[in-house]
Amino acid sequence: MPDSNHLFELGALAAYLLGLFYIGLRSMREVRTSVDYTIAGRQLSWIVVLSTTAATMVGGGASVGMVSQVYKIGIAAAVLTCAWHLQLIITGLWIAPRLRGMNLITIGGFFELKFGVFARTLAVVHCILFLTGALTAQISAMGTLTSHVLELPFELSLLIASAITIFYSTAGGIRAVVKTDILQFVILVAGIGTASGILFAKNNGFSGIAEKLSELSLDSLDLTHHYPPIQFISLFVAFLLGETLVPPYATRCFIAKDKEHSRWGIAGAGIFLLLFLPAATLVLGLAARVDPQINAIMASSDSQQVFPTLIRSTFQPIHPLLSGILIAAIVAAVMSSADSCLSCGATLAMEDIFRRHLRPSASDSQLLLVARMTTVVVGLVATFFAFLFHNIASILEFVYNFWAPAMILPFFVGLFWYHPNRTYAVVASMATGTLATILWQFVVHPRIDPVLYPNLSSLTPVLPALALAILAFFLTNLVCGHMRPAGGFLPSGTEEPSA
């Protein structure tokens, strides 16, 4: 029979999950069209966009995954997370208003508008790969956390957590996602902020933590102790570009009520998170590292359990209800990213596959049904993959490696240096970036001797693949830049080319 402390934790988590059920059912009554379900009628103010963007960012990778990484390797992990928030600031200030002005529904629509059908197909494939990987990581994190709280087997906990997320996402679409994100944002800021503040004071600030690390002969404050400089730079670029304009954040650009609300919603989320999350993550991870009780538990546990274990050991002595609320905050962090991926997957299936290829004349009720059915199917597929893959940070790093080389350059060309004649070059760069990532990840990198070539061995695929993609773009543009696009390369947009 659970003790009273555990009952408090279960009660707080149960209350939170029931709240999500209620929001899903309430939002279901507000969804009347496919536009309501997928982009919330484009009616959201900047503060709502800020909340939903920030909550989406603070998922399993940015909370559970990175606290465990700080615990293992130190300050370098916290500094790497700054790249995520910098890309939101850049996206918000200069990219989001342009995307909002196009009245798009999906990223695929942008690529066809600018570069034609072939580019759209490649973009949709990369969106599917990213969403599958990211959703798998978040669901795996939900299973890990729920298992720790409920003290149930991982497999059963994963099914419970994913079922709840799939339910409210299916019922209310993006409207339910945004409402739950606002709730999750409040819980996250209050929970993580309170936890890091108490632990900061408990350890007498950074000077106290540094002193304890020194006593334990740990190099957690050495930025390059774990990562050689070239690997650190490569990872920072991967984190910076790996989530730039991925479907969940692009959707936040689309759902704002106008350009300015899109600009300050996205950029505001980046500014807030940059000032808040790296420092909080650093305090939490290092506080766990200098805690003998946590180290004793982690000696026989998965490092992904660092965050919930730290919360439980720190706050149960204060009051078990506080521990329960903060455990719910951690679960909220993961769900806030998982529901966004589910919503984007449904929108992609409805707009880029069903309406684009299967039934162009589909009624709005048919589109809405397809979106809801896809939410369930995508959730179940990701749940299956989550049974097989459990390392959250590794999964996210894998999908970043594929996204950046193929997708970043076309976005910047399409938004800031557009000309229809550059379509061939863009498609060539996308194909080259994808192929280069595959070759480096699975063929070249495994054959590099880390002893003879330590810097080359530590290099992620992002930098070499992105360099080859840029080279392919300029070479193809040099050869084909005078040719007008035709067939599958013909952009659907009619805007005048810029210089």
Phi, then psi, of 450 in degrees rounded to 5:
-65, -20
Return the axis-axis angle of helices 320-348 and 4-30, rounded to nearest 10°: 30
Instruction: Find the mean pLDDT for residues 173-185.
Output: 86
Strands (E), 45-138: none
Instruction: Find the mean pLDDT for residues 250-268.
Output: 96
Count CB atoms within 10 A of the CB of residue 103.
10
In this prediction, residue 315 carries a pLDDT of 75
213-244 residue pLDDT tens? 888 878 878 777 778 888 888 889 888 888 89
Q: How far out from the chain centre does Cα 169 lie? A: 17
Label residue 497 by pLDDT band (50, 70, 90). Answer: very low
Count CB atoms within 10 A of the CB of residue 90.
16
Label residue 499 by pLDDT band (50, 70, 90). Answer: very low
Alpha carbons within 13 A on the beta-carbon side of 212: 16
44-70 residue pLDDT tens? 999 999 999 998 888 666 777 788 889
When mean pLDDT is compared over 10-14, 74-78, 391-395, 474-478, the highest value belongs to 474-478
93-133 residue pLDDT tens? 999 999 999 999 999 999 999 999 999 999 999 999 999 98
CA distances from 141 to 180, 213, 397 (A): 18, 28, 15
Lowest mean per-residue pLDDT among 43-47, 242-246, 307-311, 374-378: 307-311
81-94 residue pLDDT tens? 999 999 999 999 99
Contact of 44 with 258, CB cutoff 8 Å: no
Write down the residue that tokens 């379900």 correspond to: 37
**pLDDT greater than 90 at residue 200:** yes
What is the rounded distance in angstroms from the CA atom of residue 182 to the CA atom of residue 202?
30
Q: Which of 137, 155, 148 is nearest to 61 (CA)?
A: 137
**pLDDT greater than 90 at residue 424:** yes
Structure tokens at 443: 């063929």
Instruction: Find the mean pLDDT for residues 6-10.
Output: 75
- Total length of the chain: 499
Write down the residue that tokens 């938004």 correspond to: 415
Contact of 70 with 286, CB cutoff 8 Å: yes
- In three-state secondary structure terms, 256 is strand
- What is the average pLDDT value for the chain, to the nearest integer? 87
